């Protein structure tokens, strides 16, 4: 097998794996929210932490792939949509919302894990819910745009 084909297959594998994680994350978060509503905060914490760390690992793997490949342009350059305004703005909005969502998610996880040991529910619970829902919406947007970008990148739509 040609080395370039092997690299391309590996790239598609990484992209597909990260896409599946990204598509799964809102469903996992929603399940975690349902668990929290039942007052099972320990399980809610485990679910949220596992999903967060899996997603961060996936994003890091994708980022390493992008850097190793020569930047995001090298992964999307074969797309017939490459260079179009729609693709460019979709990619930019995807990255901005994803980064903001992940940063907010990281902060919420750090604060929540520290406060979890003290008292539940507490004064932070209301803020936790608000930020949790904002993150949830951000992850849905990230998942939808990731799917569209993936399909456009591989010329599947």
Domain range holding 105? 3-153
User: What are the start-end ranges of the H helices in the chain?
Assistant: 3-37, 41-69, 72-76, 85-116, 125-153
Q: What is the pTM of this model?
A: 0.89
- Region 14-21: mean pLDDT is 94
Stretch among 18-22, 77-81, 114-118, 140-144 having the lowest mean pLDDT: 114-118
Query: For residue 120, what pLDDT is reported?
Result: 63
Q: Which two tokens stand for residue 144?
A: 């939808």
Distance CA 131, CA 111 (A): 12
Indicate the number of domains in the chain.
1
Query: For residue 30, what pLDDT is reported?
Result: 96
User: Residue 2, class by beta-carbon neighbours within 10 Å (0-12 exposed, 13-18 middle, 19+ buried)?
Assistant: exposed
In this structure, how many other beta carbons lie within 10 angstroms of the beta carbon of residue 51?
A: 22
- What is the tens place of the pLDDT at every residue in 5-14? 555 678 889 9
């Amino acid at each position: 097998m040609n080395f370039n084909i092997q690299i391309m297959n590996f790239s598609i594998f990484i992209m597909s794996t990260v896409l599946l994680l990204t598509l799964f994350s809102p469903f996992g978060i929603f399940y975690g929210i349902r668990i929290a509503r039942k007052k099972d905060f320990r399980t809610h914490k485990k679910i949220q932490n596992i999903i967060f760390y899996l997603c961060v690992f996936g994003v890091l793997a994708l980022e390493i792939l992008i850097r190793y490949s020569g930047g995001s342009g090298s992964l999307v350059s074969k797309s017939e949509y490459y260079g179009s305004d729609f693709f460019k703005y979709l990619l930019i909005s995807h990255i901005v919302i994803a980064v903001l969502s992940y940063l907010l998610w990281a902060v919420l996880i750090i604060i929540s894990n520290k406060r979890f040991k003290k008292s539940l529910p507490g004064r932070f619970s209301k803020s936790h819910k608000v930020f949790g829902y904002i993150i949830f919406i951000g992850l849905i947007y990230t998942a939808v745009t990731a799917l569209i970008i993936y399909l456009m990148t591989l010329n599947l739509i």
